[in-house]
Structure 1
Amino acid sequence: MSEDVCVNEVDGQKMALVPAGRAVFGDGETRFEAELRPYYLGLACVTNDQFAAFLNNVRPSRGDMARWVLLGRQSALRPVGDALGVEEGKGEHPVVQVSWLGAKAYCAWARVRLPSELEWEKGARGVDGRAYPWGDEWDPARCRHNGSRGSDRTCSVWAHPDGVSPYGLHNASGNVLEWCEDWYDARAYRRYGRGDVSAPARGRHRVARGGCWMIDHPADFRCDFRFRMHPRVRYAILGFRCCRSAPKNA
């Protein structure tokens, strides 16, 4: 395995090194450069298999379960006795209907964290400010969207290998929206462009990024497009990707 990829010992997820350095963020009037410290970002979103293993390990209370994830028709998680299993063929699909609170709980268990939206964006587009993980031109064949999903909605987190980001991230555009750590602030990118890249201290919604299977407008799949979601919502279009800090010399 490449030295730029590590495996998280708790859940086995593969994570790519995003080296320290400057990158281009935003677009148009909000386009700016900023420098980030090194970190690791999941090559793929957390899967149904991984999230089921988490729930079976921590055995959450009924209240926590309800806050973290919505089980039901659009979820691939299925009760099997007193545990949770996964619908056949959906083990490597991204877990969905997970709230921001549920994503945070998973990260605490796996000893990782959610990425900031700047960490997510650099991981998705690299340093050159490209519009999509694969380049500047919209190519619907490189991602999961409403026009390509068929009846299955999501696809494997390893699908569309020709649409990976410069760091090897799969499905950073399409398949599911991805929770970020940050509060959503409509003016945040203007402030970042002035040199203050500290995350918003408060808000009502959390940031989600990346486009999803339910939409097909090219602009919504751009690496700089920002969605906002209440942290308690559990939608069938929402999943998450994990992050962890790297040594300064990485």
Structure 2
Amino acid sequence: MFAAIWPAMYVGLYPSIEAMGSLQQMMDKLPPAIREFFASSELNIGTPEGFLNLELFTFIAPLLVLAYTVVVAGSATAGEEERGTLDLLLANPIPRWRVVVEKAAAFGVGTIVIVAFMWAGAAAAATAVGIDLDLGRLAEALVSVLLLGLALGGLALALGAMTGRRWLSSGVSLMVVIAGFFLNGLGALIDWLDPWRPLSPFYHYIANDPLSNGLDPGSALVLVAWAVVGLIVAVIAFERRDLAR
């Protein structure tokens, strides 16, 4: 339920923001570099899409999802290992790869539930305050958030399977999140960084502005590929590690 509160709150705030017509003028006076870093130099917060892109999809929505996926995926197998319960789990007649896949499926379903609550909260608020918000486009934007979470969750899962240390795997994944955010933002401002932006998951997450224009299939496939590669690496690493205590 908590995941529904933030989107509902920002959607509910929009009519008040819209009434402050001077706010867009204030935004226009900001240096283009500032606007480009956080969203786009063409950002128009006078529309529901522009406002939600700035207030929700630039930071809050990814933060809510990544806080869950990075921690839960990083602890999927590593948490069991640190608690000493992994031996009991592996004593069951199931292959190691299945343990990893089932753990991945569990955090994947959890991520879907979070995103579904976010959509429901935003949709309910939009209906309540009478905002003309395309709920289909909203779903596409949240699918992009979902894929971002799964991509970086795949990294955390792989690191946890390789190291058996949940805080190490979550910590490294968090650093990748921060580095990716700044690479994408600064790459829009610094010419020599721009060619490296596709290495950032945030570049693919926000590509094509899914809230306004729909999900970009190519970028979505990149995020899916990262998630799948993370799962494959996790399975291979977990299969090959000596887990004897």
Range of TM-score over shorter length:
under 0.3
The structure number with the bigger radius of gyration is 2
Give the TM-score of the pair, scaled to structure 2. Answer: 0.27
